[in-house]
Structure formats: structure tokens, C-alpha cells
Amino acid sequence: MKTICRNVVSAVTASALTFALSAPVYAQEMMKELGKGEGQVDIVAWPGYIERGATDKNFDWVTEFETKTGCKVNVKTAGTSDEMVALMNEGGFDLVTASGDASLRMIKGKRVQPVNISLIPSFKDVDKRLQEAPWHFVDGQHYGAPYQWGANVLAYNTKVFPEAPKSWSVVFEEQTLPDGKSNKGRVQAFDGPIYIADAALYLMKKKPELGIKDPYELTEAQYKAALDQLRVQKQLVSRYWHDAFIQIDDFKNEGVVASSSWPFQVNLLRADPAVMEKTPIASTIPEEGATGWADTTMMAAEAPHPNCAYMWMEHSIQPKVQGDLAAWFGSVPSNLAACKGNALLTDSGCDTNGLQNFEKVHFWRTPVAACKSQAEGCVPYHRWVTDMIAVLGGR
């Protein structure tokens, strides 16, 4: 297969990201009461996060909301956190389903505003571990409503791997796979600067002498080791993926047998009988653990439709919506009431999707220079952006 690389972010965007990390945290006056809806709400979201039944009529948590509130839902999908930050910097959106490697940048960059959780009555039902998570709760202010969480799993072809791979080494080191063939040209990696953390997580176990304590808090030496590991990996990778549906096609038709992935792709592949007969797919969390995402629906600083935005945030954490989304995406609900009584998710769905893995997941977080685990400080995110571009370019 032909190796395909994509610049993860432009130089202009990189500058914007740097600014977003250096700007001060601010407080904006919050709405005190809910008013009449403005007729629409515009949302930046991950693929598969906001469904109206177009792909599968069973998965639709938009139509009822529109009928009930009169707020038409418009969605712009983004494949990476940097894309989300860039879109929010452009403005014109009301909400964004931000992961932890984007949320703090948008808080500090003044792109999102504190929310009044009294206008989101179901917030009290959100998993207590998420209500004041550090990626959206800053200086005593809530900057959104927790949506879903999950791990970046290792997806693999079960014909090639009769048993689940025990280590991420199958995508980081050249080796002969159980089918007797090399992994070179048959594996993928995520296309985004935050993927440097995946290399660091792998090295935490492979090279404990590096002293990595947190994959998002890397000293210069640890960071260099992670980049070197990514350069080794680049010789193996057929594609750096950012489009979930292209990755699905690559597993089906392009000979990809192992990759970091989301449960979303794995679920869709496993739901296709033809795929499961020809190229059956499963997923696992290897012995090193996994990076992951805990996403928050955050409100733009200058949201054009704030009333509809608050209505959507309340709707988004209702048990029915949470359960349907978890069943569709393969994620874990932020409202654990969704784990029982949902026909699509079933009562075992939350456990299947990794509810018990919370402590194994290193949730995406924006790397900063003034880190907690390293006395000498850490490499900040703007370096991750430029250096990942260099890695993808073969430097």
C-alpha cells in the first residue's frame, strides 16, 4: 500500500494553538435563566457523535430534540482536536464536543465560556468522577457538560491474530505477526500531535529507565525518545488515519491488520456480516494501557444561539441519549443511569464498552511547560504540533 501522510495542522493553526495556551483564563457572565430557543444550534462534533438516523434509523437523538424545542441541529464534524480548535477559533458555532487535549486550550484561549449548571438539571446525574474533571473544571468554573468517554483501543484482524495482541509493540516495532508475515505496511497510527502520548505510554513499560510518569508530561529526554519511537514506527505505517470511515475501508479492503482506533470503527466493522467473514475485527487494551478521551460539550464564548445550546446540553446527558450514543459509538456514558434499561446498549453494554477501564485510561490532556510530575518542566504542546509534522514528513 502507498504510504499517505497528512499535515496535522497548518503553520497558521499552530500559531493559534500557541496563543490559546498562553492567553489567560477568563470569566464571562453566565446566563441566569433559560429563554426561548433561537431556532437552531450549530455544533462541532466528532464523527458519529450526533446522529439523526441517516446511517441507521435506530440511532437518532436529534429528531425528537428538534421537535420538542424547535431548535434545528446543524453539525460540522472534525477528525482531530486541532481541527476542532481551529473551527472554534473561526467562530460561528454554539457548541463543541471537545476532548481533553482541546478543552483547556479553548478555555485559556477564550473560545468557550463558563456554563450555569443550574440550567442543565441533569448535570447532577453525571458520573461524579467527571463532574469536576480538570480538563473542563477550571478555577471553580464549569466549562461544559461531560458527554462520553472511552479508550483509544488496539483494533486487530482476528485471522491474523488468533489471540489478542498483548502489547502495542505490534504497531510500534517491526516484527513477524502470527500469520508469518511482517507488520510493515499493514498497520496504522492516529494522525494528530497528541499521538506522541501513545508512543510515550508504550515507552513507560518498554523503557522504565526513562522515568516517564505521565505520557502528557515529558521532559526533553523523554520527549526525544517518544519522537524516535515514532520515527521507527513511520517505516511501518501505511496510513496516519484521521477519518474514521477511511480507516474502516482500510481494514475491509486495504490489508490493514492492526491500528490504534476508536470503538466506533470497531463496532461498525463488527456489525457487518460480510466483513466479519472476510476480515473479522476485534479490539483490546494492551498491557501498557491506553490513551483515551473524555469529551465535554462546551459552549462557545460568543454562541449565537445560547438558549438552544443550553437545551442541547441538557438533552445530551439524558439517559436515553447517553445509552443510544454509547451503543452506537462504543463509548461509556457520562450519565451512568444509561447503563440499565436501554434496548440498544443492553444492560451489559457499559461493561462491554470499558466502564471498568477508567483507571487504565490516560485521558487526552493538553501538554504544558509547567507540569506537575517533572521538576525540570515539560515540553509544551506547540512543540508537539511542529515536531509531529516533522515526523510525518520523514524528519
pLDDT of residue 267: 87
Q: Minimal CA–CA distance to 249: which of 283, 231, 272?
A: 272
pLDDT of residue 1: 34
State in Å, rounded, how far the first CA of the chain is from the last one: 21
pLDDT band for 17, please (50, 70, 90 cuts): very low
Alpha-carbon separation of residue 293 from 99, 185, 262, 318 (angstroms):
6, 27, 10, 20
Q: Minimal CA–CA distance to 316: which of 105, 108, 115?
A: 115
What does the pLDDT look like over 63-103, one tens digit per residue?
999 999 999 999 999 988 889 999 999 999 999 999 998 99
Dihedral, 12, 13, 19, 24 alpha carbons, nearest 10: 150
pLDDT of residue 22: 42
Q: Is 72 exposed, middle or buried (0-12, 13-18, 19+ CB in 10 A)?
A: middle
- The residues facing 153 across adjacent strands are 261
pLDDT of residue 93: 98
Helix, coil or strand: residue 355: helix
Q: Minimal CA–CA distance to 197: which of 227, 221, 233, 239?
A: 227
Give the separation between CA 72 and CA 171, rounded to whole angstroms: 42
pLDDT band for 27, please (50, 70, 90 cuts): very low
pLDDT band for 30, please (50, 70, 90 cuts): confident
pLDDT band for 233, please (50, 70, 90 cuts): very high
Q: Tell me the one-letter amino acid at 298.
A: M
Does the structure show a pLDDT above 60 at 11? no
Does the structure show a pLDDT above 70 at 20? no
What does the pLDDT look like over 238-268, one tens digit per residue?
999 988 899 999 999 999 999 999 888 998 8
What does the pLDDT look like over 335-384, one tens digit per residue?
999 999 999 999 999 998 999 999 889 999 999 999 988 888 999 999 99
Q: Minimal CA–CA distance to 193: which of 27, 373, 386, 378?
A: 386
When pLDDT is averaged across residues 296-324 and rounded to a whole number, the result is: 97
Tell me the H-state helices in 299-366. 306-316, 319-329, 349-352
What element of type H or E holds 296? Answer: strand 290-300
Give the separation between CA 369 and CA 95, rounded to whole angstroms: 28
Percent of the chain with pLDDT over 70: 93
Does the structure show a pLDDT above 70 at 155? yes
Contact at 8 Å (CB) between 218 and 226? yes
pLDDT of residue 9: 38
pLDDT of residue 394: 87
pLDDT of residue 279: 93
Contact at 8 Å (CB) between 153 and 262? yes
What element of type H or E holds 384? Answer: helix 381-392
pLDDT of residue 264: 85
pLDDT band for 14, please (50, 70, 90 cuts): very low
Joined together, the cell numbers standing for residue 259 give 491500528
The CA R_g of the chain, rounded to the nearest whole Å, is 20
pLDDT of residue 375: 86
Kindly tell me the number of DSSP H helices and DSSP E strands found in the chain: 15, 15
What's the chain's average pLDDT?
91
Joined together, the cell numbers standing for residue 281 give 475485527
Which residues contact residue 203 at a Cβ distance below 8 angstroms, ignoring those fewer than 6 apart?
A: 210, 212, 222, 225, 226, 229
Contact at 8 Å (CB) between 339 and 323? yes
Q: Tell me the one-letter amino acid at 230.
A: L
Give the separation between CA 300 and CA 303, rounded to whole angstroms: 5
Does the structure show a pLDDT above 50 at 2? no
Which residues contact residue 312 at a Cβ distance below 8 angstroms, ignoring those fewer than 6 apart?
A: 41, 43, 65, 71, 73, 94, 95, 297
pLDDT of residue 150: 94
Q: Minimal CA–CA distance to 223: which of 190, 192, 199?
A: 199
What domains, with CATH codes, occur in the chain? Answer: 11-150+293-363 (3.40.190.10), 151-291+367-392 (3.40.190.10)
User: Number of C-alpha atoms within 13 angstroms, CB side, residue 146?
Assistant: 28
pLDDT of residue 142: 97
